[in-house]
Amino acid sequence: MREAKLILEDGTEFIGRSFGYDADAVGEVVFNTAMTGYPESLTDPSYAGQILVTTYPLIGNYGVPSNLPQLGEATGASEFPLQLEGDRGRLPVLESGRIHVKALVVADYSEAYSHWNAKESLAAWLKREKVPAITGIDTRRLTMVLRESGVMMGRVIIGTEGTEKTEGTENTESYGSVNWVEKVSCKDIITYHPTAAHDDSVSSVPSVSSVPSVPKVVLVDCGVKANIIRCLIRRGIEVVRVPWDYDFNQLEFDGLFLANGPGDPEQCSKTVEHIRTFLESKQVRPCMGICLGNQLLARAAGAKTYKLKYGHRSHNQPVQRVGTTQCFITSQNHGYAVDASTLPDDWEPLFVNMNDGSNEGIRHKSNPWMSAQFHPEACSGPTDTEWMFDEFVNCLNTVRTGRTESSL
């Protein structure tokens, strides 16, 4: 392994060894405390533009599965590059068709791997995807720096032996100044038809051919994770996936879904404008948002968002449903949050983070519009809040039968 270096924006340096692609990288350095799920994290579009640090020390020990598409039938174009001919538009096994992180930083990379579903090593995958990675770094110290000082830009330098490659992050764009959503969103409309589930954990639904009419949901792709689409089509929903800046109000649909994605929500002014038009429409239809979708819904309603010091990226974030004693353990990956104090009078907080009191979801007081800052679809992480998809589907069916009250 070649020597490698991570230089933070404040000048702090960490020396390690390269086990990924032989190239330098610049990005916002963030940490995730999850013990498992590195293939899902690496393919999560919400990590676009970021250097991911894993606090769990042993990474790579169960390899990487094949990412060829399996579940979901679709028509239209797709950006997934790993699909076989004939599977165009189908969902990949992981959360997207490629790795989105700028680089990976771990304490101890395991060259040996073992898992019944593994097809290759993590190192081989990273090299094929041209993503640099460093092992041998004191990630506990690195995490403490980020926790105390806040996330910051960093540069990964591969091959520092006998060179003068000591430059840091000068003259690089800040993470929040880039529209990362534009980079990861689909470019064309893709339609996913409901299909029976491929596992026993979710009840199967009738095929589209046996259902005279199924709910149609427009999903605004700001960097959607594949498991969000799986959770919808498994519940009998036809999903029409549109680009982040597409004016979906011109379409005929029964409900709106605002997906997760990377970056500062202020960069998505076009999306917010289209959501605001939807909210102001005389035709009341259900809406659900996740992660960035929560922030965009809040901004469309008139609220403000702000950047967290070091974000929430883990599988064990406790959130409380406001007005109840219910607490859920959730999977999270975000660096921005909604300022609940700026919500208009007809909106209210739905969930609150029990660690730091930050907002974890909002809802309208009378219309069927809700959102979660965490990830109910998990993948990876706990599925404690997957019931939110059921609530959304219930809202769709309720409105389709002529009623408008929300089930939340």
Q: Catalytic residue positions?
A: 291, 375, 377
* Residue found by looking up tokens 């996330």 in the block: 151
* Residue found by looking up tokens 């589209």 in the block: 208
Phi-psi region of 15 (alpha: psi -120 to 50; beta: other; left: phi over 0): beta
In 199-261, beta strands by DSSP E: 216-221, 238-243, 255-258
* Residue found by looking up tokens 């449903």 in the block: 321
- Annotate 30-58 with b (16+ C-beta within 10 A) or e (fewer): bbbebeebbbbbbbbbbbbbbbbbbbbee
At residue 187, the 3 state secondary structure works out as coil
- Residue 309 CA: distances (Å) to CA of 44, 100, 181, 188, 356: 21, 22, 21, 35, 11
Quote the DSSP letter at residue 89.
T
Quote the DSSP letter at residue 358.
-
Rounded to whole angstroms, the Cα distance separating 322 from 66 reads 40
Rounded to whole angstroms, the Cα distance separating 6 from 14 reads 5
Helix boundaries (H) for 158-311: 180-184, 226-233, 269-280, 292-301
DSSP assignment of 126-177 equals HHHTT--EEES--HHHHHHHHHHH--EEEEEEE--TTS-----STT---GGG
